[in-house]
Chains A and B, each alone.
Chain A
Amino acid sequence: MSGRYFYILLLTLLVSTGFVRGQSQDSMSTVSLNSFYLMPVLNPWLITDNPAGLSQNTSVHPGEMAIGFVNEDGDFKRMLRGQNIQHYRFETKQYKKINKTSLYGFFSYDKSFEKQLRYSEVNDPYRGTPYLLIDTMKMEGNTYDREFLNLNGAFSTPLNKNISWGIGTNFRVGLASQNRDPRPKNKVLNLSVTPGLLFSGSRFRFGLNFIYKYYNEDIESIIVRGNTQMTFFSLHGLGTFIYHVAASYYRLYKQNNLGINTQINYHSGRINSLLGAKLILLKETVVDGRGEGNASWAHIKSCSELRSILLRIYHTTVITNGIFLHQFLIDLNIRQLIGTEIIQRLENDPDHNYMENWVTYGKDEKYGSYLFTSNFNYRFIRLKDNSKPDFTLDGGISYLFSEQDYYIPNQKENYKNLVTSFRFNKSFFFNKSEFSVSAVLRYKRNLSGTLNLEDPNFIVSKIVAPDYEYITQNYTLFGMGMSFEIPIKKSQTKYFINTQASFLRAYDKRTRTYLSVNTGIIF
């Protein structure tokens, strides 16, 4: 049995299990797919990551269990991404209230195949670090095969009449591997813990939560073909690099985040307004040649360090007018990165019994990055009942300013982009069945940008310059979606099928299409 059929069978079994579980639910309110969309409007605390905010949930507690398929295809892509990406996914999530404790749980299993990609040996080359590991070997049909599990849970419970506390955790673990030499195998771990408090007054509520996140990516890249060495490029940002010729390569990313998030919430009969500010400090180290016995070219080599500060300020106001809801959302993010290179040389080190070892000569801050994003959204909702909308309309505008600098040789890149988007969703109700249609329109315009490089090497021409072309390219995206929900007899559970398709066309005529289909139950 091929792996793909095995996963389909596995997911079918899991859904069957969930179906039975869903039938046994005894909920008095019916929910729909759109109820999840409604949740952060009914409870603005859900846009924060303060788990104590779960206590402010209304009586709507939707749950879902589904399998899905996502296909992304086209030549409008970043250089380290694949031409085609397919996801096979199982996920289940639910809001719940037991006695006075509010809960949220989420679990997903994602199997994906990223096809026809080049260069990248890291699981996610665009997660924000300039310190990437690549190779330049080309093979048709090269695929990144990934398998990820994600477990997310949070609860909130009152300490007394005015104070609630909660803890949220997220655990994501996965394995990614490629099918050609050199063959990177990436073991990825994401872990976060967020304890939070919420103080309630008559009109005002105050929230405070702390954030700890840990990221670990362990890359073991081997060459199966015998007696063969290949070149591994260790990128330092904007096309600068060093390289090693080796029969295998090991790299370890370790990232620690510490943060604090505060919120203030005003609510009256019709107005519910929340303002929050979050500050996160990050430090990531990159180490190469982890296993001394296996690293043929070196022992442990410290490559670089990355420090970051992230400030997020966000605000939302929801105005309720009978069955009409208006939500205004502002989200501002400022992120700065400073990258430090560690200068080392392989020497017969007297501190290590004259064995060959990387000796550190110094550290030098070489890379700086500044990213500012701002999002302004307006959302209009007409309710069918208190748990689901029958019409929604979204309009938003996003502004992004990015600047990257590498010093000596001097490499600079900056750009400003503006993205406007509109989305509507209309639901039609037939007895207890529901049919929804949606459409989305997005337009991206580049306002300005420069790429000024003192060292135009081949990494620049193959990766940095095409990526800059991608990022500053104007495009239009149009998408449509449909979903159908049918109640299952003698229960509040509904079976649903949902499909979304969108087509993106850039101004240089490159395209990318997105198709997703998922089906399951809502309870």
Chain B
Amino acid sequence: MKTPDFQSYSVNLTVSFDPDVPVQDRDSIKVSFTNLTKNYSKTAYTDAEGKVSFTNIEPGFYSASLSASFVANGGNDYLNGLKKVDVFSEVNDTIPTTLSKSNAVIIKEFYYSGCLTPAGKYYSSDQYIEIYNNSSTIQYIDGMSLVEDQSYAIAPYYFSYIKDSIVVRMIWSFPGNGNDYPILPGQNIVIARDAIDHKSDPNGNPLSPVNLSKAEFEFYVYSISGGDFDSPTAVNMIEDLFTFRGSDVVFHTRGGSAIALVKIPGDSAQRKKYIDNHLVAKVGSNRYYGVIPDSYVIDAVEVTWDEAHAVYKRFPVEIDAGYTYVSAGSHSGKCIRRKVKEVVKGRFVYQDTNNSCNDFLKDATPKPWINEW
């Protein structure tokens, strides 16, 4: 019997460490080598020099990623690295890494998948984003913005030529002048698409998993026809940019909405001026997208459709070294939720390694305002 004439190669990678990474922490860091087409991974560990090798690798397109944490200056620092590697011969390459500290305000839960009604129809008005004060001090969210990347990551990134920035289709900002909206340590804030009790409201869906009638903030899209519900209790977010303006804010129920919490410097007028002065469009299109520097990003979650579409990852490794998604799929009633790292004196501290692959649970049941293991 003739054996197929198949190819296999060795891949030798070296992790490029920041000088601040202690030498003793450079050994035994787990590196995942993922075939992006076939969706399987191999793992290996670095030696003291940061070298790692993979053998018997079939030709194809891969990503090498690593995530590690270590104690420095009395706090936790996180090391993330990501490198796309094409294997069609022996490979010797370097994995660039970034150092980051955990953020004070984080995106804790993102429910975008929606659910089904008893009649089997789609329902997504119960989508929401939950942010959380992960620190031990009071934080203020005045003037912060929630943004959504312009791409759903189903094709190569159009704006890849714009460096050190993300390009967004939506910018919705929290009102306030600096001290109006505090978040206490361990407090959750929910930003609902529609702040109603979706389980019992006549316009809701009894099969919805959430009651959002006590949501603190709401995405409200004003129109003369009044197409969007305006909750009397929730504070409306400020619409700064809405490229594909419709009757309401809708996140893709299949996934693909990469979101970030950002802080554009200045007050609301300066923020709007900044946005207006930093717009880009695709060739032949009159739709404009906002450009936000990476340095303005407080926290970000790269949500893809699924594992296969991670090949079209948009956020740079400095913002989110990984990605996540609801694997149960569209209208599953499931969400992504950050993992609990520890509980300090009754305050939940969530994991924030700046790598969504590690930090998030994939098919969690939506539980706004609830902290639990």
Contacts and interface: CB of A to CB of B under 8 A. Distances in A.
A361 B309 contact: no
A364 B7 contact: yes
B225 to A, nearest CB: 23
A405 B5 CA distance: 12
Nearest to A245: B305
* Chain B interface helix/strand/loop/mixed: loop
B59 A403 contact: no
Given A245-B309, A343-B59, A343-B60, A367 B156 contact: no
A231 interface: yes
Contacts of A279: none
B6 A407 contact: yes
B308 A244 contact: yes
A343 B58 CA distance: 11
A240 interface: yes
A345 interface: yes
Interface string A334-350: 00101110010111100
Given A245-B306, A408-B56, A366 B38 contact: no
Interface range on chain A (Cβ under 8 Å from partner)? 35 or more
B6 A240 contact: no
B156 A409 contact: no
Contact of A361 (B1, B38, B57, B88): B88
Contacts of A340: 4
Contacts of B8: 407-408
B27 interface: no
Contact of B4 (A347, A361, A365): A365
Contacts of B309: 245
Interface string B149-163: 000001110000000
Nearest to A298: B155
B10 to A, nearest CB: 13
Interface string B90-123: 0000000000000000000000000000000000
Interface in A360-374: 361-362, 364-368, 370
B3 A346 contact: no
A365 B57 CA distance: 14
Given A408-B58, A409-B40, A368 B3 contact: yes
Contacts of A370: 1
A37 interface: no
B2 A336 contact: yes
Contacts of A356: 155-156
Nearest to A244: B308
Interface in A439-476: 455, 457
Given A240-B38, A408-B56, A368 B1 contact: yes
B164 interface: no
Nearest to B38: A242
Nearest to B57: A408
Contacts of A339: 4
* Chain A interface helix/strand/loop/mixed: strand
A366 B155 CA distance: 27
Contacts of A457: 40
Nearest to B312: A346
Contact of A245 (B56, B88, B308): B308
Contacts of B58: 364, 366, 407-409
Interface in B1-25: 1-8
Contacts of A242: 37-39, 308
A405 B3 CA distance: 9
A346 B39 CA distance: 16
B254 interface: yes
B61 interface: yes
Interface string A366-396: 1110100000000000000000000000000
A228 B3 CA distance: 42
Interface string A242-274: 111100000000000000000000000000000
A231 B306 contact: yes
B59 A362 contact: yes
Contacts of A343: 37, 59-61
B280 to A, nearest CB: 17
A338 B2 contact: yes
B61 A345 contact: yes
B86 interface: yes
B87 to A, nearest CB: 10
Contacts of B59: 343, 361-362, 364
A116 interface: no
Interface string B320-337: 000000000010000000
Nearest to A228: B330
A194 B66 CA distance: 60
Given A242-B308, A343-B61, 18 more contacts: A228-B330, A231-B306, A240-B38, A241-B38, A242-B39, A245-B305, A245-B308, A338-B4, A340-B4, A345-B61, A348-B156, A356-B156, A364-B6, A366-B4, A370-B1, A405-B4, A408-B56, A457-B40
21 contacts: A241-B38, A242-B308, A336-B2, A343-B37, A343-B59, A343-B61, A346-B156, A347-B156, A361-B61, A361-B86, A364-B7, A364-B58, A364-B59, A365-B4, A366-B58, A405-B3, A407-B4, A407-B6, A407-B8, A408-B56, A457-B40
Nearest 4 A-B pairs (CB), nearest first? A365-B4, A408-B58, A407-B6, A370-B1
